C-alpha cells in the first residue's frame, strides 16, 4: 500500500525516536493504571486489593503496549530488524567463518551474475542511445520463433515505400556495420542520413548527416567520426569539422563528431560513419554497390525502426508486414514472408535465428555455471552445519526459553540472507569485471558493449542470491533446530562429494597449468625469425587504382622511402607475418597435385627477417628470379632431402618453377610444428608490404614519411610481435578461463574440506576427549583429524589425475610445444591442491587440539 506522505513522515519520525515513544507509552499506561487504582481505593478497596483489581480490569499491559506499537510498524518488521542485528553480531564474532562463506558464495553467485551480465550486454541491453527500448531491428523472415526463419534485410525499394507510409513507427534507418580493419585503417559503418537523429545521438562537434547526403545518384563524401577516433587520431583538435580524412584513399570531409558515450551499434566500437551512398565512392567497382544505385530491389540492407510511442514490436510487425506486401516490385516475392522485429541489441540486430541461438548457448553455459553455484552452496551448507553444532547450546537455549522453532529457523535464515547479501556485493563486482575481461582476451578491437551493472543484472543477482539462501541455509537451519540433533547427512556421502570436488579442481588446475605452459612455450619457441627487431609497414592503395603501373611503382617507392628515412635493412613481402597462403604444385612426371603453405617474398627478405639460406642460393634479382623458388627445411625433407630438392622443377599454374635454395624453418601463425613452406617470388602485380629490421623506430618514421609524400594511400604499421601475440591469444584466453575456474573450484574444495573437517571435529569432541584422557598426544590428535579426510582427498587426487590425463588429450590440439601429460604440471597442481587441503584443515585441527578432556566429558 502506498502511504500518504504525511503519514509516512509520521511513521518515519516514530521509528527514528522509537525509544522515546516506547517510554512515553509505558508512562502513559502506568498513569492510567495508577488513576484506576486510585478510583478503586476511593470506592473503598485497600491499596493492595485496588492494585490487583486495576490489573485485572485493565488486562495484559505488555500485550496492549505491543499492539499499540504495532500500529506504527508491523511487529514482524521490528523483529526482522532484530534478527538482522543479531545475525550481524553473530557473524562479526566469527570473522574467519564469515569471510570463507562469503568468498565461496560470492564466487558461486558471481559467475552466475557474470554470465547474466554478459547475456544482458549482448542480448537484452540496447545501445547508448535515446530510449533504446523503442528501437527494433527489422527483418523479412519465413516465420518467427521457428527453427529456420531465413531472415534477410530490406531492399532500398522496401525501405523507401514502407518508411514513408508506416504509422506504427516514427522512422526507418539503415545501419550496415563495417568489419573492423585489421591493418588499423579507419573502418566506417554505412548508415542512412537519419541515423543519428533517429537514434537521438548528439554531436560534440559539427552536425549529423543532412537529408540530401545519402542520395544514391549523387554521393557526397562526408563522414562523422567517433569521439574515440577524434581523440586518438586527431588529438581532439577543435577545428576537426571541415578537415579531410581518407577512407581507402578517398578524401572525406568531416562534418561532425558523435558524443563520447555513443560507441556505435555493434559489439565492437565503430570508428566512423558514412552515408550509404558514399560507399559508391569508396568501392566504386563492387557490383553490389553499383547495384544500389541502379536496382532499388537489390537485397539487402540492415534496417532499424524506431517504434512510435506506446507501440509494441508485435503491433509494428503486423503493420509492416501488410505494407511490405504492397511494395511494387518487378521480381516475384514469396507472399508468405513476414516482417520480424527483434530487439535492437548486439544479438537482436543479427536476426531472429541469432536470438534463439544465443539463448540456447547461454543456457548451456548456464548449466555449467549452475554446477559451480550448487558446489558453492553445498560447501557453505556444510560449513553452516559445522557452525550449527558449535552453536548448539545457544540454539537449544533459545528454544528452551520459549522461542518457537519457526522463530529460530527464521533467525538462522536471516544470517544466511546476510551472508548472501554480502556475497552479492562481491558477485556484482565479478559481474562487472569478468565478462569484459573474458571478451578482451578472446577478441581484438575496442569493445562497444556496456557491462555496467543495471537493474536487470541487479535483479538477477538478487534472485540468484535468494535462491542460494534456500539452498545453503534452509537445510542446516532445519537440521540445527531439530528436537534432537542426530548425525546429520551421511558422512560417507560427504566423503564422495568431497573427493569429487578434489578431482574436479585437479582436472581444472592441470588444464590451466597446461595452457599457461603452452603460452610460455609459445613465447619462447624460436619462431625462426628475429621477431623482436622486426616491424611491418603496409599501404592500402585508393580503391580507384586499377592500373598496374601504380602498383608496380610501389615496389620501388616503398624501399626508396625507407632508405630516405634511414632504414638500412628492409625487404618486400606479399603476406602479413606468420600468415601464409596456399599454393598447389605438381612435380614433373607425377600427376599428383600437392598443396603447400606458401608466401611471396621480395629479394633480400631472408636476410632481413633472419632466416638463413643453408643450401643453394637466394633467388636472382629481376625477371629471371620470377620462376625461382625456395623451400624451407621441412618442405625440402618432404621433397627427398635438401640435396635432392635443389634443382627440382615444380609446376605451378602450368608454369615450371625451379627450386634454387633451402632456408631454415620459420613458424606460421599456429606456432606448432614447423610446417613446410614454399617461398615464391613476389609478383610485381600485387601490392607489397615492407618488412623492416630497425630498432630506432624506423617503422614510425616511414609511416610518417609515406603520409607526407603519398597522402592518397592509407598506411599502417605493426610490430611482428603483435602477430605472434595474436596467434597466442586463444591459448591465453583458454589459460585464463581454466585458471579462473580452477582457482574457484580449488577455493570451493578447500571450503568444503574445511566444513567437513570442522564438523567432524565437533561431532567427535567426546571421542577426542577420551583419547586425550587416555594419553593421546597432540600428534595422535592431529593424525586423527587429518585422517578424517585423507581417504577422500587421496581418492580425489587419483580420479582427478586420470581425468586430467583425459582432458589433456582433448586439448592437445590447442597446445604449443607442450606434452599434455607432464610430471611438473601434475605435481605442481597436486601440490597446490594438497596445500589448500592442509590450510583448510589447520583451523579445525587447532580446535581439536584445544579440546580439554575434562570439559568435553563433562559436557554430555
Name the helix (H) or strand (E) containing 450: none
Site mask, other proteins, residues 559-598, x = CB under 8 A? ----------------------------------------
Should residue 25 be labelled a site residue for other proteins when binding is judged by CB under 8 A?
yes
Q: Which of 15, 18, 32, 450 binds other proteins (CB under 8 A)?
A: 32
Site mask, other proteins, residues 67-96, x = CB under 8 A? xxxxxx------------------------
Should residue 58 be labelled a site residue for other proteins when binding is judged by CB under 8 A?
yes
Should residue 35 be labelled a site residue for other proteins when binding is judged by CB under 8 A?
yes
Question: In terms of Cα–Cα distance, which of 682, 684, 648, 642 is closest to 663?
Answer: 642
d(CA 217, CA 37): 103
Should residue 11 be labelled a site residue for other proteins when binding is judged by CB under 8 A?
yes
Q: Which of 1, 2, 5, 6 binds other proteins (CB under 8 A)?
A: 6
Should residue 31 be labelled a site residue for other proteins when binding is judged by CB under 8 A?
yes
Q: Which of 16, 22, 23, 38 binds other proteins (CB under 8 A)?
A: 38
Pairing of strands 714-719, 655-663: unpaired
Cα dihedral value 484, 487, 488, 493, nearest 10: -170
User: From the CB of 36, what's the least distance to other proteins, in Å?
Assistant: 6
Judged by beta carbon, residue 27 or residue 232, the one nearer other proteins is 27
Should residue 28 be labelled a site residue for other proteins when binding is judged by CB under 8 A?
yes
User: From the CB of 402, what's the least distance to other proteins, in Å?
Assistant: 21
d(CA 87, CA 427): 21
d(CA 560, CA 696): 18
Judged by beta carbon, residue 72 or residue 722, the one nearer other proteins is 72
Judged by beta carbon, residue 60 or residue 253, the one nearer other proteins is 60
User: From the CB of 437, what's the least distance to other proteins, in Å?
Assistant: 52
User: From the CB of 52, what's the least distance to other proteins, in Å?
Assistant: 16
Question: In terms of Cα–Cα distance, which of 247, 244, 128 is closest to 189?
Answer: 247
Should residue 52 be labelled a site residue for other proteins when binding is judged by CB under 8 A?
no
Contact 260/128 with Cβ under 8 angstroms?
no
Grid cell digits, residue 606 = 631472408
The H-assigned helical ranges of 659-697 are none
User: From the CB of 45, what's the least distance to other proteins, in Å?
Assistant: 16
Tell me if the bond preceding 300 is cis, omega within 30° of 0.
yes
Name the helix (H) or strand (E) containing 226: none
For the chain, what is the largest distance between any 2 Cα atoms, rounded to a whole number of angstroms? 139
User: From the CB of 68, what's the least distance to other proteins, in Å?
Assistant: 4
Should residue 857 be labelled a site residue for other proteins when binding is judged by CB under 8 A?
no
Judged by beta carbon, residue 69 or residue 234, the one nearer other proteins is 69
Pairing of strands 272-275, 714-719: unpaired
Contact 280/292 with Cβ under 8 angstroms?
yes
Which DSSP state fits 579?
-
User: From the CB of 410, what's the least distance to other proteins, in Å?
Assistant: 25
Judged by beta carbon, residue 2 or residue 774, the one nearer other proteins is 2
Site mask, other proteins, residues 727-766, x = CB under 8 A? ----------------------------------------
Residues near 66 by Cβ (< 8 Å), separated by ≥ 6? 75
Radius of gyration of the chain (CA): 38
Should residue 36 be labelled a site residue for other proteins when binding is judged by CB under 8 A?
yes
Should residue 63 be labelled a site residue for other proteins when binding is judged by CB under 8 A?
yes
Judged by beta carbon, residue 30 or residue 802, the one nearer other proteins is 30
Should residue 60 be labelled a site residue for other proteins when binding is judged by CB under 8 A?
yes
User: From the CB of 406, what's the least distance to other proteins, in Å?
Assistant: 25
Q: How far apart, in Å, are the Cα atoms of 692 and each of 393, 572, 671, 821?
A: 78, 9, 22, 40
Judged by beta carbon, residue 13 or residue 612, the one nearer other proteins is 13
Tracing cell 507509552 back to the chain, one arrives at: 25
The CA-based angle 156-157-159, given to 5 degrees, is 65
Should residue 65 be labelled a site residue for other proteins when binding is judged by CB under 8 A?
yes
d(CA 812, CA 805): 10
User: From the CB of 32, what's the least distance to other proteins, in Å?
Assistant: 4
d(CA 732, CA 704): 33
Judged by beta carbon, residue 6 or residue 588, the one nearer other proteins is 6
3-state SS string for 296-345: CCCCCECEEEEECCCCCHHHHHHHHHHHHHCCCCCCCCCCCCEEEEEECC
Which DSSP state fits 401?
T
Contact 116/428 with Cβ under 8 angstroms?
no
User: From the CB of 51, what's the least distance to other proteins, in Å?
Assistant: 14
Q: Which of 24, 286, 394, 695 binds other proteins (CB under 8 A)?
A: 24
Within a 13 Å sphere around the CA of 291, how many CA atoms are in the beta-carbon half? 11
Judged by beta carbon, residue 61 or residue 686, the one nearer other proteins is 61
d(CA 562, CA 217): 42
Judged by beta carbon, residue 67 or residue 643, the one nearer other proteins is 67
Q: Which of 29, 308, 437, 543 binds other proteins (CB under 8 A)?
A: 29
Per CB under 8 A, the segment of 29-37, 168-176, 267-275, 724-732 that binds other proteins is 29-37
Within a 13 Å sphere around the CA of 313, how many CA atoms are in the beta-carbon half? 18
Judged by beta carbon, residue 10 or residue 233, the one nearer other proteins is 10
Should residue 34 be labelled a site residue for other proteins when binding is judged by CB under 8 A?
yes
Tracing cell 606434452 back to the chain, one arrives at: 819
Which DSSP state fits 623?
G
Q: Which of residues 322-341 bind other proteins (CB under 8 A)?
A: none
Should residue 57 be labelled a site residue for other proteins when binding is judged by CB under 8 A?
yes
Judged by beta carbon, residue 39 or residue 133, the one nearer other proteins is 39
Judged by beta carbon, residue 56 or residue 490, the one nearer other proteins is 56
Contact 471/377 with Cβ under 8 angstroms?
yes
User: From the CB of 11, what's the least distance to other proteins, in Å?
Assistant: 7
Neighbours of 288 (CB within 10 A): 12
Please report, as ranges, the residues that interact with other proteins according to CB under 8 A.
6-7, 10-11, 14, 24-25, 27-36, 38-39, 57-61, 63-65, 67-72
Amino acid at each position: 500500500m502506498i502511504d500518504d506522505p504525511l503519514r509516512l513522515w509520521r511513521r518515519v519520525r516514530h521509528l527514528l525516536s522509537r525509544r522515546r515513544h516506547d517510554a512515553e507509552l509505558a508512562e502513559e499506561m502506568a498513569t492510567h493504571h495508577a488513576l484506576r487504582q486510585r478510583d478503586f481505593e476511593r470506592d473503598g478497596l485497600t491499596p493492595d486489593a485496588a492494585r490487583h483489581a486495576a490489573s485485572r480490569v485493565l488486562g495484559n499491559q505488555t500485550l496492549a503496549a505491543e499492539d499499540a506499537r504495532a500500529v506504527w510498524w508491523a511487529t514482524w518488521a521490528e523483529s526482522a530488524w532484530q534478527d538482522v542485528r543479531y545475525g550481524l553480531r553473530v557473524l562479526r564474532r566469527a570473522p574467519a567463518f564469515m569471510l570463507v562463506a562469503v568468498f565461496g558464495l560470492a564466487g558461486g553467485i558471481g559467475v552466475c551474475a557474470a554470465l547474466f551480465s554478459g547475456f544482458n550486454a549482448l542480448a537484452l541491453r540496447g545501445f547508448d542511445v535515446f530510449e533504446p527500448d523503442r528501437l527494433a531491428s527489422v527483418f523479412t523472415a519465413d516465420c518467427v520463433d521457428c527453427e529456420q526463419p531465413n531472415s534477410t534485410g530490406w531492399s532500398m525499394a522496401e525501405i523507401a515505400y514502407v518508411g514513408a507510409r508506416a504509422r506504427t513507427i516514427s522512422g526507418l534507418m539503415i545501419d550496415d556495420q563495417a568489419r573492423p580493419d585489421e591493418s588499423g585503417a579507419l573502418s566506417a559503418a554505412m548508415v542512412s542520413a537519419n541515423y543519428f537523429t533517429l537514434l537521438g545521438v548528439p554531436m560534440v562537434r559539427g552536425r549529423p548527416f543532412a537529408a540530401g547526403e545519402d542520395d544514391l545518384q549523387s554521393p557526397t563524401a562526408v563522414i562523422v567520426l567517433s569521439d574515440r577516433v577524434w581523440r586518438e587520431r586527431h588529438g581532439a583538435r577543435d577545428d576537426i569539422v571541415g578537415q579531410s580524412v581518407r577512407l581507402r584513399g578517398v578524401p572525406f570531409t568531416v562534418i561532425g563528431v558523435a558524443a563520447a558515450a555513443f560507441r556505435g551499434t555493434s559489439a565492437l566500437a565503430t570508428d566512423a560513419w558514412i552515408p550509404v551512398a558514399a560507399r559508391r565512392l569508396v568501392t566504386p567497382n563492387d557490383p553490389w554497390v553499383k547495384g544500389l544505385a541502379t536496382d532499388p530491389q537489390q537485397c539487402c540492407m540492415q534496417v532499424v525502426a524506431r517504434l512510435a510511442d506506446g507501440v509494441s514490436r508485435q503491433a509494428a510487425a503486423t503493420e509492416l508486414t501488410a505494407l511490405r506486401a504492397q511494395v511494387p516490385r518487378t521480381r516475384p516475392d514469396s507472399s508468405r514472408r513476414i516482417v520480424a522485429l527483434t530487439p535492437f541489441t548486439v544479438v537482436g540486430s543479427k536476426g531472429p535465428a541469432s536470438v534463439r541461438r544465443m539463448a540456447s548457448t547461454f543456457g548451456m553455459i548456464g548449466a555449467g555455471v549452475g554446477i559451480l553455484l550448487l558446489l558453492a552452496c553445498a560447501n557453505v551448507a556444510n560449513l553452516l552445519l559445522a557452525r550449527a553444532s558449535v552453536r548448539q547450546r545457544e540454539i537449544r537455549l533459545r528454544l528452551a526459553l520459549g522461542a518457537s522453532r519457526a522463530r529460530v529457523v527464521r533467525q538462522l535464515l536471516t544470517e544466511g540472507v546476510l551472508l548472501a547479501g554480502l556475497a552479492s556485493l562481491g558477485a556484482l563486482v565479478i559481474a562487472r569485471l569478468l565478462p569484459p575481461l573474458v571478451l578482451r582476451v578472446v577478441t581484438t578491437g575496442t569493445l562497444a558493449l556496456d557491462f555496467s551493472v543495471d537493474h536487470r543484472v541487479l535483479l538477477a543477482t538478487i534472485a540468484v542470491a535468494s535462491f542460494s539462501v534456500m539452498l545453503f541455509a534452509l537445510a542446516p537451519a532445519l537440521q540445527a533446530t531439530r528436537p534432537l540433533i542426530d548425525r546429520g547427512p551421511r558422512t560417507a556421502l560427504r566423503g564422495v562429494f568431497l573427493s569429487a570436488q578434489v578431482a574436479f579442481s585437479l582436472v581444472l588446475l592441470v588444464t590451466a597449468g597446461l595452457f599457461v605452459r603452452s603460452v610460455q612455450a609459445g613465447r619462447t619457441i624460436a619462431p625462426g625469425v628475429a621477431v623482436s627487431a622486426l616491424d611491418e609497414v603496409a599501404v592500402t592503395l585508393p580503391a580507384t587504382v586499377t592500373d598496374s603501373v601504380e602498383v608496380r611503382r610501389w615496389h620501388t617507392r616503398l624501399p626508396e622511402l625507407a632508405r630516405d628515412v634511414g632504414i638500412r635493412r628492409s625487404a618486400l613481402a606479399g603476406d602479413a607475418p606468420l600468415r601464409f597462403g596456399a599454393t598447389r604444385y605438381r612435380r614433373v612426371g607425377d600427376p599428383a597435385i600437392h598443396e603447400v603453405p606458401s608466401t611471396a617474398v621480395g629479394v633480400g627478405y631472408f636476410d632481413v627477417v633472419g632466416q638463413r639460406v643453408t643450401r643453394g642460393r637466394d633467388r636472382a634479382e629481376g625477371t629471371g628470379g620470377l620462376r625461382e623458388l625456395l623451400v624451407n627445411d621441412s618442405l625440402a625433407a618432404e621433397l627427398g632431402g635438401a640435396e635432392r630438392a635443389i634443382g627440382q622443377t615444380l609446376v605451378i599454374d602450368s608454369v615450371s618453377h625451379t627450386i634454387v635454395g633451402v632456408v631454415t624453418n620459420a613458424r606460421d601463425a599456429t606456432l606448432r610444428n614447423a610446417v613446410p613452406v614454399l617461398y615464391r617470388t613476389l609478383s610485381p602485380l600485387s601490392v607489397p608490404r615492407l618488412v623492416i629490421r630497425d630498432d630506432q623506430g624506423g617503422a614510425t618514421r616511414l609511416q610518417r614519411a609515406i603520409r607526407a609524400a603519398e597522402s592518397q594511400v592509407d598506411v599502417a604499421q605493426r610490430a611482428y610481435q603483435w602477430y605472434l601475440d595474436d596467434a597466442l591469444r586463444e591459448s591465453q584466453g583458454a589459460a585464463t578461463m581454466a585458471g579462473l575456474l580452477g582457482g574457484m573450484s580449488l577455493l570451493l574444495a578447500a571450503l568444503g574440506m574445511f566444513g567437513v573437517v570442522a564438523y567432524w571435529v565437533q561431532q567427535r569432541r567426546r571421542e577426542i576427549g577420551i583419547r586425550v584422557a587416555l594419553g593421546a598426544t597432540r600428534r595422535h590428535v592431529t593424525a586423527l583429524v587429518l585422517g578424517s579426510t585423507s581417504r577422500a582427498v587421496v581418492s580425489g587426487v587419483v580420479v582427478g589425475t586420470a581425468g586430467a590425463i583425459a582432458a589433456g588429450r582433448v586439448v592437445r590440439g590447442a597446445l604449443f610445444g607442450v606434452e599434455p601429460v607432464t610430471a611438473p604440471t601434475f605435481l605442481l597442481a597436486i601440490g597446490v591442491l594438497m596445500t589448500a587441503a592442509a590450510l583448510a584443515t589447520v583451523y579445525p585441527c587447532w580446535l581439536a587440539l584445544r579440546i580439554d578432556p575434562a570439559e568435553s566429558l563433562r559436557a554430555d
